[in-house]
A and B are shown apart, each in its own frame.
Chain A
Amino acid sequence: MSIRGKVFRFQDNVNTDEIIPARYLNTSEASELAAFVMEDIRPGFGKREDIKDGIFVAGENFGCGSSREHAPLAIKTAGISCIIARSFARIFLRNAINIGLPIVELKDTSGFDEKDRVEICLEAGTVFNHTKNRGLRFPPYPEFLQEIIDAGGWLKYAQKGK
């Protein structure tokens, strides 16, 4: 599956309070959450029209902090199709896999700027930056995680095995 989109650039240690602040957690409605995604780093971001098919590129430890699945859900529902980061916080990674939001760990994410056009192929393990005309590779998911992804998320996988 190939994913194409426009880059929105973030730094290291983006935490779940920034992705979806606790003051909006009095609901679990995905569309309500999406409207406030990244609100505390980029006020108004979730209400912008041009974020559909966006791709997040960040540094280390993306999604640290709370276990709220509201965070990847808000990102996914806002139309962001993939997150590329140098590393992900453990629970965020788990939640993203479980809900089927593609994530990519790249050793070096410094060569991406805001608005770059990027194409990702998950099966081949490649990221191509069309704006910079530069390609990078990443290792495939471990087999177990790939099975969860192929099943369409954790709950579908869990029920299959039952």
Chain B
Amino acid sequence: MGNDATLSEKILAAKAGRDRVMPGDYLLLKVDVALANDITAPMAIKEFKKAGGTRVFDPQQIVLVPDHFVPNKDIKSAEQAKMMREFAEEQGITKYFEVGRMGIEHVILPEKGLVKSGDLVVGADSHTCTYGALGAFAAGMGSSDLAGVYLTGKAWFRVPESIKIDILGKFKPYVSGKDLILKLISLLGVNGANYMALEFSGPGIAGISMDGRLTMANMAVEAGAKAGIFPVDEQTAAYEAERHIRVEKTGPDPNATYCKTLSIDLDELNPQVAYPFLPSNGRDIQEAEKDNIRIRQAVIGSCTNGRMEDLREAACILKGNKVHPRVRCIVIPGSQHIFRQALKEGLIETFIDAECAVSTPTCGPCLGGHMGVLARGERAVSTTNRNFVGRMGHMESEVYLSSPAIAAASAICGTICHPDSIRTQGEK
């Protein structure tokens, strides 16, 4: 009790200029970054104008990323993107990322150093919680919230209660942040953390890479959480230093109050596969292998798993192999920067040799937009974050969520499988 605060409470108190805030407090706070995309920005812009807005509060605060339906898939979505582009021009918003210079919003904001540790970030996209990996307090909101920031620079917050996730041990081979977060969501349930923040802690987090942390924080919302936050440690400091940002190490106070603690031992964790139609339907890969799940499509990308480490992991498994004749494997680097790096490292060549389709960065099939929409009865394994009914296309299609390693192995096998069941060329 007393004055010891969780990391979320610390950040929110600092922003409110108070010593202490308590769960349940409502705060009106100035935000550091306000993000919107080609689906949510048009509505925010309309609301802003309807409320009589002419000039935004601070153009430097605003980030606009067309990523969902771009390069535009049809006339209507092109109109949406155009509205956003013109708003950026009219308002002098420089943090607008055009096709050819863009990437998926939650991949490029950390990559370009546009969000940093300790920031208060709001975004009209539910996966805005991704930046908790850097020790920022970042929460998804709606378009009216964004319009409010455009008008006043501020948004309203309710200080959340926090759940402590105590992580022990070390990942086994082919187990990563995606498996850990899928496991946690299956333990918590899809609304087990509704209105709350997840705080990741324990000796195990030192061994989780920044890409892995971004994947985990990204999916906090899949348990209903408002934020998923990591302490700022050496690894965060090193990541930020590469972007010329200096940060102080910080974390929750030792006796902070949590409404619940969940412990998990990485030594015991197996690769996870979340069955349709909820992200909380995670099961061990061994179980999925027994179910002999035949797939038509494998998707490797998205704001969850479209980063460098993800592509390396997938390429390592695909190298010297071919995608199963029945399967379409679609690989989507999360940003132009990652695309170029993957080219340099020869990963793109590996993908093409394996007969994958490689796309320019986009959300694409993740939300059933374009670049891999499923037909009736089709089944996909995907490194994305949601497997709701109809998420990737037809209402009678199915999505199984997994890590890049499992998705790559399954693309080769034609059924959902562990990478151990694939023989790489070297071993043949």
Contacts and interface: CB of A to CB of B under 8 A. Distances in A.
Contact of B152 (A13, A69, A145, A158): A158
A28 B145 contact: no
B191 A60 contact: yes
B291 interface: no
Contacts of A9: none
A124 interface: no
A81 interface: no
Q: Bin the interface of chain B by size.
A: 35 or more
Given A155-B151, A158-B152, A159-B151, A98 B145 contact: yes
Contacts of B141: 67, 91, 94-95
B201 interface: no
B76 interface: yes
B329 interface: no
Given A17-B389, A94-B142, A26 B195 contact: no
B90 interface: no
B303 to A, nearest CB: 12
B124 A67 contact: yes
A132 B226 CA distance: 37
A36 interface: no
Contacts, number: 133
B398 to A, nearest CB: 14
Contact of A69 (B52, B143, B390): B143
A138 to B, nearest CB: 17
A70 B191 CA distance: 21
Nearest to B226: A90
B278 interface: yes
Interface string A119-148: 000000000000000000000001011001
Contacts of B76: 26-27
Contacts of B154: 158
B248 to A, nearest CB: 29
B6 interface: no
Contacts of B144: 69, 95, 98-99, 153-155
A87 interface: yes
Contacts of B147: 155
Contacts of B194: 61, 87, 89-90
Interface in B18-57: 26, 28, 39-40, 42-43, 46-47, 50-52
Contact of B367 (A22, A95, A153): A22
Q: 8 tightest CB-CB pairs across the interface, nearest first?
A: A26-B76, A95-B142, A144-B26, A61-B191, A69-B142, A98-B144, A26-B77, A67-B126
Given A64-B224, A67-B124, 9 more contacts: A15-B388, A22-B368, A66-B125, A89-B191, A91-B140, A94-B141, A94-B145, A154-B156, A162-B151
Interface of A: 13, 15, 17-18, 21-23, 25-28, 40, 60-61, 64-70, 73, 87, 89-91, 94-95, 98-99, 142, 144-145, 148, 153-156, 158-159, 161-162
Interface of B: 26, 28, 39-40, 42-43, 46-47, 50-52, 68-69, 73-74, 76-77, 80, 123-126, 128, 140-145, 147-148, 151-152, 154, 156, 190-191, 194-195, 224, 226, 278, 367-369, 386, 388-391, 395
